[in-house]
Amino acid sequence: MTTSTSTPRTAPATDTAPATDTGARDAEAAAEITGARERIDELDARIIALVQERVSVSARIQRARIGSGGRRVNLSREMEILARYRDELGRPGTALAMTLLELSRGKV
């Protein structure tokens, strides 16, 4: 068994080096992309927190429904949720809603 001791190749340093992580070709565009990505990261953190809260609230609903003798899933309510996401976001909204429902109640 042989192992390679070569060092990884790196891109040569240029005056656009700060832009390489963004795919931009100049520093101004790179700065804009970097700022926008930071905002997206902030939004993603909020979205994740909201999804986690949604999962928790859904678990409370399921416990109450099952505790009263009901079923774990209320299909008519899920259809309302699917329709709302589809109406607001189009076809990808339906997929997003399905993912949220699966996270919240598990696979049916």
Which structural domains are found in the chain, ordered by start? 48-108 (1.20.59.10)
Cα separation, 35 vs 42, whole angstroms: 11
Q: State residue 108's pLDDT score.
A: 62
How do the pLDDT tens digits run along the chain, 108 residues long?
545 455 445 444 445 444 559 999 999 999 999 999 999 999 999 999 999 999 999 999 999 999 999 998 999 999 999 999 999 999 999 999 999 999 999 766
pTM (whole model) above 0.85: no
Q: State residue 106's pLDDT score.
A: 76
Whether the CB-CB separation of 29 and 19 falls below 8 Å is answered with yes
The token pair at 34 is 């970097």
